[in-house]
Amino acid sequence: MASPLILGETRAVTEPATIFVLFGATGDLAARMVLPAFYTLARKNLLPPQWRLIGNGRGDVAHEDFRQKVRDSLEQYGSGVEEDVWQDFSRRLLFAGGGFDESGPGSLLDVIRDVEDELDDEAEPNFVHYLAIPPVAFEQTAKALKQHGLTDRARVVFEKPYGTSPDGFRQLDDTVHEILDEEQIFRIDHFLGKEATQNLHVLRFANQTFAGVWHRDHVAAVQIDVPETLDVANRAAFYDATGALRDMVVTHLIQVAAEVAMEPPLSLGAEDLQQARESVIAAFRPLTPQDVVLGQFEGYRDLEGVADDSRTDTFCAVRLWIDTARWHGVPFLLRTGKRLAVGEQRVSLLLKPVEGPLPTPEEPGAISLSLAGSGSLEADFVLKRPGAGIRLATVRQTLELKDVKDADPLDPYVALLNDVLTGDRSLFTSSAGLEQAWRVVDPILRDKPEPHPYEPGSMGPEAARELAAPTGWLIG
């Protein structure tokens, strides 16, 4: 097991030679997220001294053509290309075409053999297999890795969603565990890799000011709010088979809720953090129809790839209850949706008013973390307005995490890929944790409410406002 990171310590990659195999290397996810993250790791010297990246796909693409595709991705979706870094980076990029399944590995094994002959290392290389492919291909690709002898000394990264139903999750998980040990499996959730999400730990466990209020005696409600202005773009066919509840709530927001709600772990090591998340998710009550509002923006059914009678939810608001002594009776309000008025990613603890001689402020105070970008912390303070008499003023103070001294924030995919390299699974979802997450939403999936129509540019159905009463949503 990897040692937990000591605060203030710089991670040093001391792994042996590593061969990355990127399945789906010419796809949209690889172009937007994965390849720019690999390049950033190289630019920050966070890759092993000896590494190669082999892209895999069904087509036959020459190595030079693949390198050009990677460069195009970096220029379009990344932070650009530095020529001196690119010269070294690009020579390590290769492509293996012809597909990859149990019936045949295409050219992948041949390219791997060529790389192994080229690497200057007496020890056999490690493998990182990154599955940037449609989830329906996870099982067959995992079986093919076993069939072609590529599971030894290997870590396998699965993109989300890891299953699309409780039964589908169990089938996939059983198959994968027949092939890989749990320690080899990295189910990526980029919300857990965000700087502000990671700062939830430090904010709470290293600051007595915040640790003391992290309790139902002081918190009226918790909101995890991720509204999006974007539509489903070119993902309509995928989205229509998934929806907001599956795409965001199960995969991301329940895990973030567990980060807020968990009891203090014994350490910030992977096993202790995962155990703390699993334990509190096991205390989440299964959802009921009274605690869920689904919506669908007007015009969604007119999109290409969407059925004319689609009941897919493009909006979801959830009121979650947690049966622990710390959080009993405190609603956790989760909201996400497409084509909404604003785009945010925010975790907020709405505080109860202080009992005493002063009047209650009109709006509840809050401790709030923005998960967007490098993240920020906001805290409300009720102060005496300077001047004659006692007039109260609520002041909001904001700290941008990128402004912290010596800050070097990492994008979520960069941070998580770095953790894959070092074998640190603390920011990755566990099998047991996901099993519990699917248990929470299972009643709604089995008897799904009809989605409410809502106007694009609004904050979703009116029923979602009622769900958040009496505090209301902080955003919108």
User: What's the pLDDT tens digit per position in 188-211?
Assistant: 999 999 988 988 888 999 999 899
Closest CA to 109 of 139, 57, 149, 140: 149
Rounded Cα gap, residues 38 and 53, in angstroms: 9
Count the Cβ atoms, other than its own, within 10 Å of residue 71: 18
Q: What pLDDT score does 391 carry?
A: 83
Which pLDDT score, from 0 to 100, does residue 5 have? Answer: 38
pLDDT at 32 over 70: yes
Q: What is the mean pLDDT of residues 291-306?
A: 94
Does residue 405 have a known ligand-binding role?
no
* pLDDT over threshold 80, residue 475: yes
- Give the pLDDT score at 163: 87
pLDDT at 447: 92
The Cα–Cα gap between 474 and 165 comes to 31
Is residue 473 within 8 Å of 223, Cβ to Cβ? yes
Per-residue pLDDT band at 1 (split at 50, 70, 90): very low
Residues tagged active-site:
252
Tell me the average pLDDT across 356-379.
85
Mean pLDDT of 434-439: 95
Supply the pLDDT for residue 241: 85
This prediction's pTM: 0.90
Q: Is 308 annotated as a binding residue?
A: no
Q: Worst-scoring range by mean pLDDT, 111-115, 141-145, 232-236, 468-472?
A: 232-236
Closest CA to 437 of 64, 173, 130: 173
58 annotated to bind ligand:
yes
Question: What percent of the chain shows pLDDT beyond 90?
Answer: 73
pLDDT at 12 over 50: no
Closest CA relative to residue 219, chosen from 347, 87, 352? 352
Establish whether 247 is an annotated binding residue. Answer: yes
Looking at the DSSP bridge assignments, the partners of residue 322 are 284
What pLDDT does 10 receive? 40
Q: What is the pLDDT of residues 169-178, one digit of tens each?
A: 999 999 999 9
- Find residue 333's DSSP bridge partners: 223, 319
* pLDDT single digits (tens) 277-291: 999 999 999 999 999
Instruction: Say whether 285 counts as a known binding-site residue.
Output: no
Ligand-binding annotation for 403, yes or no, is: no
- Binned at pLDDT 50, 70 and 90, residue 11 comes out as very low
On whether 190 is known to bind a ligand per the annotation, the reply is yes
Does residue 3 surpass a pLDDT of 50? no
Q: Letter for the amino acid at 305?
A: G
Q: Which whole number is the average pLDDT over 41-53?
A: 94
Q: Give me the mean pLDDT over the 441-453 stretch.
A: 95
Task: Give the number of residues written for the chain.
Answer: 476
Q: How many CB atoms lie within 10 A of CB 402?
A: 13
pLDDT of residue 13: 52
Look at 159-163, 211-215, 280-284, 455-459 and tell me which has the smallest mean pLDDT: 159-163
Which one is predicted more confidently, 408 or 175?
175
In this structure, is the dihedral angle defined by the CA atoms of residues 433, 416, 34 and 157, taken in order, positive or negative? negative
State residue 7's pLDDT score.
35
Which among 192, 219, 466 has a CA at the least distance from the CA of 331?
A: 219
| CA 398 to chain CA centroid, nearest Å | 24
Q: What residues form DSSP beta bridges with 222?
A: 332, 349
* Range 46-60 average pLDDT: 93
Summary mean pLDDT of the chain: 91
Cβ neighbours for 106, distance < 8 A, ≥ 6 positions apart:
56, 58, 96, 97, 98, 99, 100
Q: Is the pLDDT of residue 9 over 90?
A: no
C-alpha dist (Å) from residue 35 to 22, 129, 199, 404: 9, 14, 26, 28
Percent of the chain exceeding pLDDT 70 equals 96
pLDDT at 398 > cutoff 60: yes
pLDDT (average), residues 344-365 = 84
The yes-or-no verdict on residue 6 having pLDDT over 70 is no
The predicted model gives 118-132 an average pLDDT of 87
Domains of the chain: 18-159 (3.40.50.720), 195-467 (3.30.360.10)
For residue 476, pLDDT over 90 is answered with no
- Output the pLDDT for position 268: 80
Give the pLDDT band (50/70/90) at residue 121. low
